A and B are shown apart, each in its own frame.
Chain A
Amino acid sequence: MSSTILAVDDSPTMRQMLTMCLSGAGFNVVTAEDGADGVEKLKEHNPDVVITDINMPIMDGFEFIETVRGGDFSTRMPILVLTTESDAAKKARAREAGATGWIVKPFVPEKLISAVHRVMP
């Protein structure tokens, strides 16, 4: 049974790239287009790993992570933040919100996969 990854990003291009990359590596991929959608999908699919963007409409990445960590669903799954922004303040904020790891985009597929593998048992 393959593992499930939830990818949250408002860009259809990014969602498509993540899906192709990750499903090509054998994962089940579920996507969401903003934080609120992400929360819904997470409840529904209970993924093993979550990858999320920060800048999204309706509910941004920070709020999404906070909601996940504080909610009544499993709080322990790894959440990787995938974003072009790389300043320290944002990283700290993400960490505070409860993010597990940080990947800068544009990502190289191989690196994304290995990052996921590191997180996934």
Chain B
Amino acid sequence: MELDAIRDTYFAECADQLSELETGLFSISSDGVDAETVNSVFRAVHSIKGGAGAFALDELVSFAHVFENALDVIRNDLSQSNEDRIDLLLRSSDVLTDIVAAARDGEEPIDCSEISAELEKEFNLQPMEEEEEVEFDIVPISLDDLTIQTSAATNKFEITFAPHNELYLNGHDPQKIFRELADLGSCEIRVNTEKLSSLDKFDTSSTELSWNITIETTSLENDVRAVFEWVSDCCDLQITEDETDALASDISIDDFLGDLSDLPEVEEEDDCLGEPQESEPLTVPDEQPGIAELPDLSEVSPEPALEIVAEEPVAEVVELPAEAPKEEKPAAAKKPEPKERARASKPIRVDSEKVDRLINLMGEMVISQSMLTLQINEAGFGTASPTGLALVELQNLTREIQSSVMSIRAQPIKPVFMRMSRVVREICSATGKKAQLLLEGENTEVDTTVIEGLSDPLTHMIRNSVDHGIESVEKRVEAGKPETGEIVLSASHSSGSIVIEIRDDGAGINRQKVFEIAVEKGVIQADSKLSDEEIDNLIFAPGFSTAEEITDVSGRGVGMDVVRQSIQGLGGRVSISSTPGKGSLFTLNLPLTLAILDGMLVRTAEQMFVIPVSSMIETISLRQQDVFQIGDGNMVFKLRDQLIPIVDVGYELGFLDQPHSYEEGTILIVESGNHDMSAFLVDSIVGQQQVVIKSMESNYQRIPSIAAATILGNGRIALILDIEDIVSRKTRETPTQPVLDQIA
């Protein structure tokens, strides 16, 4: 059997089940137990266990078994759960995840004896013993004629067997039972038709036949009784041992069957399938398949004649049941109605490569469309002309397809967030602190590429929060805070980007210490004057991370500067703010997608640049009277009542040797992440268009002030401005808002 092909399916399923498990337990821990969730959690572990056996993953099976039993206790009685138990279950799910991972990667099995023992103790479980099914005589099935076995020590039993209706209703077939008996030894079977009514009174819905059987066998009475195990509740059965001599005659199955065919036939009623039917063994066995009585089948040994041939693997990825087209079935082509099932639309699995290719093609299509637009414009087709209208139609369509394609790759951020709850558990366990993770907006959708890059930085930041932010239990109590610290992890959309916040109610940043460390590490001068916020953000400075901070728990040698780089690599920003004694807040800003951007194309210093539309507030023609100078060379723009610092794009980026003239130009008011506004000065606005984001980093590296590049319709490159970066550089130079307010 091709177990390898199924192995992949199994571990993929495990991933789903573990995710289900974690989500369910998390929901129980924050919202309390409910039957539905406990059931689904139980099923998740059950399924993992089920498959594990097939791959001989004994460790996994045995741990899953204990875990399952623990869950069963709660499943059967919801009041059996309490906070400590839930915590134990959460830890168990962590262990289970690790065991599955080790099994999947072929690594050494993990020792889970400790947590198993804990589970057994806490839930009062019986130490694990796989219950053996009733032993059944292992006799190769053969339908050959049986000849008398006159081996020594044969026993003789007399059996009376009178089935009830239920026996037939449950799909049993006396014929099959007799065959099994025949396997045990030689039988003489006599049907008893005493109770049989005459034809005119015959009731097809009830049974009136019984049998007397004499069997001679080397088996014991228990074995004989075992044949009837499944039907013992639905028949009258008597087995007595007979001391008299064994049967002398040859009995063959055919004879036995031949006897039966002498009996009156009973019509099978094809149409009344709903009604209980008379058993068919009275006729020759080419009737409807008999229904066998099945004792524990796991003990049955293989038929010698049977060949198990491994065929080609079954349909993989997208699940399709193997069709069984039978000629008599007109309904074969009909699909089952989905409406009866309360199930959301089914997900399908697709190779991510295929999606990536699709997205790349989308990108190329956007560029191609730009080129076409350019050509059409240059050829003089107006927007109202048929060509112009057709183009607009195309642009709309492209935009829609693009949204759809991007949404394929957009996934809820939930799995990444869920992993963090484990991180919190582990750190709390390592540091002895207590903290609880709360999630908000976990269903916010984010592009896959962004999600993948988030896991590590988030982990580090959360570790940091617990390790440095959340105080020890004693300190918290002293400060009048609840023993258990709270970390809120939230995600939301905000004008074209994702905002992720990690908020803790810990002690906040120790600014003095951070300052000292920064001086010590040469990050800043001892006499630097920094605002509180600037001090807080020093933790992200390269070279800041201190050896003393890199404990086993926090970061494994990775500091906040690496975190910042990772986030920037995703095209995002991260900053921290904190209130001593109250807590800290990490804020991450990430682009919704790494592929396509709505951009405003501008021209200045003979270059083309792109400004993300999501950052733009408005555009205004520059008039000299709106421009003022403050202090030494800081130009501001007066917009209604506000004074907004001017960013001379061409000059700032080094494309102009002299500042732009303030006599003419265009101002774009842009807003950066923390709602600061700037007035970007350019020559002119070219137009708005969608651009495909091409990373600078694939062949080059990160350039300050530049987020990425794009290829325009004419094949030329335009740089996409990094608004945040440009603005933050500028704000370091210009006076702070209070001064501006004074002047205004």
A interface residues with partner B (beta carbon < 8 Å)? 1, 3-4, 10-17, 19-21, 23-25, 28-32, 36-37, 40-41, 43-49, 53, 55-58, 69, 71-80, 84, 86-87, 95, 98-111, 113-115, 117-121
Q: Which residues of B contact A107 (CB under 8 A)?
A: 54, 298
Residue of B51, B133, B291 touching A100 (CB-CB under 8 A): B291
A30 contacts B321, C-beta separation under 8 Å: yes
CA separation between A72 and B290, bound complex, in Å?
19
A20 contacts B1, C-beta separation under 8 Å: yes
Q: How many A-B residue pairs have CB under 8 A?
A: 231
CB distance from B4 to the nearest CB of A (A): 11
B289 contacts A120, C-beta separation under 8 Å: yes
B310, CB-defined interface residue at 8 Å: yes
CA separation between A37 and B294, bound complex, in Å?
25
Residue of B nearest to A69 (CB): B169
Given contacts A40-B336, A76-B277, A106-B53, contact A58 B322 (CB under 8 A): no
1/0 per residue, CB under 8 A from A, across B305-337: the answer is 011111101100001011110100101101011
Residue of B9, B310, B326 touching A13 (CB-CB under 8 A): B9
Given contacts A14-B50, A105-B53, contact A87 B131 (CB under 8 A): yes
CA separation between A98 and B277, bound complex, in Å?
15
Residue of B170, B285, B340 touching A98 (CB-CB under 8 A): B170
B306 contacts A113, C-beta separation under 8 Å: yes
CB distance from A104 to the nearest CB of B (A): 5
1/0 per residue, CB under 8 A from A, across B260-274: the answer is 000000000000011
A31 contacts B322, C-beta separation under 8 Å: yes
Q: Which residues of B contact A40 (CB under 8 A)?
A: 336-337, 340
CB distance from A112 to the nearest CB of B (A): 8
Residue of A nearest to B321 (CB): A31
Given contacts A71-B274, A84-B46, contact A121 B290 (CB under 8 A): yes
B540, CB-defined interface residue at 8 Å: no
Q: Which residues of B contact A25 (CB under 8 A)?
A: 306-309
Given contacts A24-B1, A25-B309, A86-B133, contact A101 B297 (CB under 8 A): yes
Q: Which residues of B contact A86 (CB under 8 A)?
A: 130-131, 133
B311 contacts A100, C-beta separation under 8 Å: no
Residue of A nearest to B303 (CB): A114
Given contacts A73-B273, A110-B308, A111-B302, contact A10 B297 (CB under 8 A): no
A69 contacts B170, C-beta separation under 8 Å: yes
CA separation between A19 and B547, bound complex, in Å?
57
CB distance from B162 to the nearest CB of A (A): 18
CA separation between A72 and B295, bound complex, in Å?
27
CA separation between A105 and B53, bound complex, in Å?
7
B interface residues with partner A (beta carbon < 8 Å)? 1-2, 5-6, 9-10, 12-13, 39-40, 42-43, 46-47, 49-54, 61, 130-131, 133, 141, 168-172, 176, 180, 230, 233, 273-274, 276-277, 285, 288-303, 306-311, 313-314, 319, 321-324, 326, 329, 331-332, 334, 336-337, 340-343
B322 contacts A44, C-beta separation under 8 Å: no
A1 contacts B326, C-beta separation under 8 Å: yes
Residue of A nearest to B64 (CB): A84
CA separation between A42 and B314, bound complex, in Å?
21
Q: Which residues of B contact A48 (CB under 8 A)?
A: 289
Q: Which residues of B contact A95 (CB under 8 A)?
A: 170, 230, 233
Residue of B nearest to A119 (CB): B292
CA separation between A17 and B277, bound complex, in Å?
34
Q: Which residues of A contact B133 (CB under 8 A)?
A: 86, 102, 104
Q: A76-B169, A111-B297 are in contact. List 5 more A-B contacts (CB 8 A).
A: A30-B321, A46-B329, A87-B131, A111-B299, A114-B302
A78 contacts B171, C-beta separation under 8 Å: yes
CA separation between A50 and B43, bound complex, in Å?
21
CA separation between A40 and B337, bound complex, in Å?
8
CB distance from B129 to the nearest CB of A (A): 11
B329 contacts A44, C-beta separation under 8 Å: yes
CA separation between A68 and B340, bound complex, in Å?
16
A118 contacts B292, C-beta separation under 8 Å: yes
CA separation between A53 and B51, bound complex, in Å?
12
A76 contacts B292, C-beta separation under 8 Å: no
Residue of B51, B233, B308 touching A109 (CB-CB under 8 A): B308
15 pairs of residues in contact across A and B, judged by CB atoms under 8 Å: A17-B6, A29-B321, A56-B43, A57-B40, A78-B171, A80-B294, A80-B297, A101-B293, A103-B298, A104-B296, A104-B298, A106-B53, A108-B298, A111-B300, A117-B141
Given contacts A29-B322, A95-B233, contact A13 B10 (CB under 8 A): yes
CB distance from A85 to the nearest CB of B (A): 8
User: Which 8 A-B residue pairs are closest in the complex by CB-CB distance?
Assistant: A101-B294, A106-B53, A40-B336, A115-B297, A110-B302, A28-B324, A13-B10, A100-B171
Residue of B nearest to A46 (CB): B329
Given contacts A14-B50, A30-B323, A32-B321, contact A79 B171 (CB under 8 A): yes
CA separation between A16 and B308, bound complex, in Å?
16
Residue of B9, B168, B289, B311 touching A12 (CB-CB under 8 A): B9
CB distance from B17 to the nearest CB of A (A): 8
Residue of B nearest to A115 (CB): B297
A4 contacts B49, C-beta separation under 8 Å: no
Q: Which residues of A contact B292 (CB under 8 A)?
A: 78, 100-101, 118-119
**B2, B52, B321, most chain A CB atoms within 10 A:** B321
CB distance from A108 to the nearest CB of B (A): 8
Q: Which residues of B contact A24 (CB under 8 A)?
A: 1, 308-311
CB distance from B133 to the nearest CB of A (A): 6
Q: Which residues of A contact B6 (CB under 8 A)?
A: 13, 16-17, 20
CA separation between A23 and B308, bound complex, in Å?
9
B172 contacts A100, C-beta separation under 8 Å: yes
CB distance from B639 to the nearest CB of A (A): 59
B313 contacts A20, C-beta separation under 8 Å: yes
